[in-house]
């Protein structure tokens, strides 16, 4: 990948077929991490006693690639995702994938599936799922000798759709505890939420919002994305509010819109539950999804927010438009976030 657009006929136009394959990198105790290999078989070969299957020794990331106005393919903040995966891997005793190797593998998997990146302006993206797991047999709960890093891709429509959602506080289950795994991206953090998400959907809620487990008063994050709130000061200053809890994922999208907000002259704040004019969820797949209301069933409270005609309030729209413009190449990438995918030479 590079930050400059390549002067070639690559990439090919969009295709509706199933993707061509995925990328694997193997780690052994003797040799360390190997080189990225493109694999057409969609299935993995893994021992049934691997610690990833038995003890949850697995970490992952979520990224996206998008086709820009010139037809080139851009990946959003791969270095940031590589560093975050490294932190998650270290938390569960998996050797960290070097960031440059991570980025090389991302470029390979996207370039080999370039025709499946949706067209410019469609609102759809290619979702990129890097995963690292303990691979070899290990009956005891101890680090194995072999690991596998792999990346799958899949074209997706906007994750939640660009329409305002109603959210609900999850008070029956604590997603994360202080000094626990909440700040790293592990599959085991999400599996217990499936039943609560399903129940919330049956009750008409599109999102679950978590509070801190100690006081149940501080906002942490939505189950699938970061929390962002907008409020106004008496002097008219716009304030963007997000969580600074040590128990939440460092959201790439939330951190990116914070940088955009600073450039717009907005104030950044980290605070407890407050009076927000707008609220939205920020995530890789979801983008910025407006939240119409948040309900707290234990108290009967329902907080409502400006979501415009359903596509978002004015500040959500402004931030989304700025972020999308950078991603699509409609506006200069002054933050150096995007990397242009280059054609694989192998």
CB atoms within 10 A of CB 82: 22
pLDDT at 272: 63
pLDDT at 104: 98
**String of b and e for 142-163 (b: at least 16 CB within 10 Å)?**
eebebbbbbbbbebeeebbebe
Residue 136 and residue 181 share a domain: no
CB atoms within 10 A of CB 273: 18
Residue 288 and residue 218 share a domain: yes
* CB-neighbour burial class of residue 124 (10 A; exposed 0-12, middle 13-18, buried 19+): middle
Is 274 among the domain residues?
yes
User: In this predicted model, which residue has the larger pLDDT, 123 or 167?
Assistant: 167
Residue 282 and residue 260 share a domain: yes
For residue 208 the two structure tokens come to 């679950």
Give residue-wise pLDDT tens across range 278-318. Answer: 999 999 887 899 999 999 999 999 999 999 999 999 999 99
pLDDT at 271: 64
Residue 264 and residue 180 share a domain: yes
Is 324 among the domain residues?
no
CATH number where 139 lies: 3.30.470.10
User: In this predicted model, which residue has the larger pLDDT, 275 or 167?
Assistant: 167
- Proportion of the chain above pLDDT 90, given as a percent: 78
For the chain, what is the mean pLDDT? 92
Q: Is the pLDDT of residue 48 over 90?
A: yes
* Distance in angstroms (rounded) separating the CA atoms of residues 337 and 157: 22
Give residue-wise pLDDT tens across range 218-233. Answer: 889 999 899 999 999 8
**What is the tally of structural domains in the chain?**
2
- Proportion of the chain above pLDDT 70, given as a percent: 92
The three-class DSSP label of residue 73 is strand
For residue 125 the two structure tokens come to 């993206």
Is 121 among the domain residues?
yes
Q: Is the pLDDT of residue 17 over 70?
A: no
- Res. 159 pLDDT band, cuts 50 70 90: low
pLDDT at 276: 93
Is 27 among the domain residues?
yes
Characterize the bridge pairing of strands 37-39 and 267-269. Answer: unpaired
For residue 314 the two structure tokens come to 């004015």
Q: Is the pLDDT of residue 12 over 90?
A: no
Cα dihedral: 74, 80, 85, 91 (round 10): -170
Alpha helices in 160-293 (DSSP H): 194-202, 252-263
Residue 219 and residue 116 share a domain: no
Residue 197 and residue 146 share a domain: no
pLDDT at 161: 56
Characterize the bridge pairing of strands 165-169 and 125-134. Answer: unpaired
Q: Is the pLDDT of residue 11 over 80?
A: no
pLDDT at 15: 62
pTM for the model stands at: 0.91
Is 13 among the domain residues?
no
Residue 145 and residue 115 share a domain: yes
- Res. 345 pLDDT band, cuts 50 70 90: low
- Expressed as residue numbers, the domain containing 276 is 165-312
Q: Is the pLDDT of residue 8 over 60?
A: no
Residue 192 and residue 135 share a domain: no
pLDDT at 9: 56
pLDDT at 5: 55
- Res. 234 pLDDT band, cuts 50 70 90: confident
């Amino acid at each position: 990948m590079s930050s400059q657009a390549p002067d070639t006929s690559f990439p090919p136009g969009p295709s509706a077929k199933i993707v061509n394959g995925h990328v694997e990198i193997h780690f052994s105790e003797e040799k360390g991490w190997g080189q990225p290999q493109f694999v057409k078989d969609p299935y993995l070969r893994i021992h049934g006693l691997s610690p990833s299957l038995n003890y949850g020794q697995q970490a992952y990331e979520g990224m996206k690639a998008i086709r820009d106005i010139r037809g080139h393919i851009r990946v959003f903040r791969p270095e940031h995702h590589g560093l975050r995966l490294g932190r998650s891997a270290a938390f569960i005793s998996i050797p960290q994938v070097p960031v440059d190797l991570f980025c090389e593998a991302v470029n390979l998997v996207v370039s080999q599936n370039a025709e499946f990146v949706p067209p410019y302006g469609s609102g759809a993206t290619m979702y990129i799922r890097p995963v690292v797991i303990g691979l070899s047999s290990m009956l005891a709960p101890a680090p194995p000798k072999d690991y596998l890093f792999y990346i799958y891709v899949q074209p997706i429509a906007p994750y939640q759709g660009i329409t305002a959602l109603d959210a609900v506080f999850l008070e029956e289950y604590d997603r994360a505890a202080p000094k626990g795994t909440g700040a790293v991206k592990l599959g085991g953090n999400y599996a217990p939420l499936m039943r609560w998400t399903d129940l919330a959907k049956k009750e008409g809620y599109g999102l679950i919002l978590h509070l801190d487990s100690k006081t149940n008063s501080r906002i942490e994050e939505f189950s699938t994305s970061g929390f962002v709130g907008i409020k106004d000061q008496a002097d008219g200053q716009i304030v963007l509010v997000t969580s600074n809890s040590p128990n939440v994922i460092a959201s790439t999208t939330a951190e990116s819109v914070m940088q955009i907000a600073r450039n717009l002259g907005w104030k950044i704040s980290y605070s407890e539950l407050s009076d927000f004019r707008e609220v939205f969820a920020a995530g890789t797949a979801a983008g910025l999804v407006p939240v119409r209301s948040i309900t707290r069933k234990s108290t009967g409270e329902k907080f409502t927010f400006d979501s415009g005609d359903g596509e978002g309030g004015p500040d959500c729209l402004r931030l989304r438009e700025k972020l999308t413009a950078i991603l699509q190449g409609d506006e200069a990438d002054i933050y150096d976030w995007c990397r242009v995918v280059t054609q694989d030479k192998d």
